[in-house]
Each structure stands twice: as structure tokens, then as C-alpha cells.
């Protein structure tokens, strides 16, 4: 008899028959509970995320500009992108 069968027999004996035996060859996947997605925050409604992996000095510089201007990071990045768009004759985006 296999070791798994011995373990199963011991489980059945100690549980007084309350457990249903498992098949060693049972291939049914375990079902995971479905996770509900939360609604999009109102501040993100109609917006998309844009990101990049950059040298840490970019973040340091951005934080320094933020400290001087008091403007949030999103506003600073939007303003910087609009300046880039102007430099390349691309329509700027209204930030409001």
C-alpha cells in the first residue's frame, strides 16, 4: 500500500468518517474566489496612466521643482509634456 493510502486511512480513522477521501489522481483545479474590482476613483475617471522607468535623479529633480512650486506631480508632468508638445508643433492638451 502506498504512503498516501496510509495517510488517507489514518485521516479517515481519526475523523470518524466525517471527511470524504481524496483521490491521489484528482486533477480538478482548486477554485479561487472571485475578487471584485472596485470602481474607478472619481479623480481618475476619464484618465489614463503614463509611466516610465527613469534614472532616480529625474525623480529627485521633479521633487525639488515640486517643493519650489508647490504644484503636484501630475500638474508638473502635464505642464512638461505640453512644453514638449509645443517644441514639436504637436497640439497641447487642456489640463482642465
Question: Considering the domain boundaries, does residue 36 fall inside one?
Answer: no
For 66-83, how does the pLDDT look when each residue is reduced to its tens digit (9 = 90+)?
A: 999 999 999 999 999 999
Cβ burial, residue 8 (10 Å; 0-12/13-18/19+)? middle
- For the whole model, what pTM was predicted? 0.56
Tell me how far apart the alpha carbons of residues 83 and 88 are, in angstroms, rounded to a whole number.
9
For 3-40, how does the pLDDT look when each residue is reduced to its tens digit (9 = 90+)?
A: 888 888 888 877 665 556 566 665 666 677 777 777 88
Compute how many other C-beta atoms are within 10 angstroms of the C-beta atom of residue 85: 13
Domain that holds residue 77: 50-96
Decide which of 7 and 49 is more confident: 49
How many separate domains does the chain show? 1
* 2 — pLDDT class (breaks 50, 70, 90): confident
Distance from the Cα of residue 46 to its chain's centroid: 19
Tell me how far apart the alpha carbons of residues 22 and 26 are, in angstroms, rounded to a whole number.
7
Amino acid at each position: 500500500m502506498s504512503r498516501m493510502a496510509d495517510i488517507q486511512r489514518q485521516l479517515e480513522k481519526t475523523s470518524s468518517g466525517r471527511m470524504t477521501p481524496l483521490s491521489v489522481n484528482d486533477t480538478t483545479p482548486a477554485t479561487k474566489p472571485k475578487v471584485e474590482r472596485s470602481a474607478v476613483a472619481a479623480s481618475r475617471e476619464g484618465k489614463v496612466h503614463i509611466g516610465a522607468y527613469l534614472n532616480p535623479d529625474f525623480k529627485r529633480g521633479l521633487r525639488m521643482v515640486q517643493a519650489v512650486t508647490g504644484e503636484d506631480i501630475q500638474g508638473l508632468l502635464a505642464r512638461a509634456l505640453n512644453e514638449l508638445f509645443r517644441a514639436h508643433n504637436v497640439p497641447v492638451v487642456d489640463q482642465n
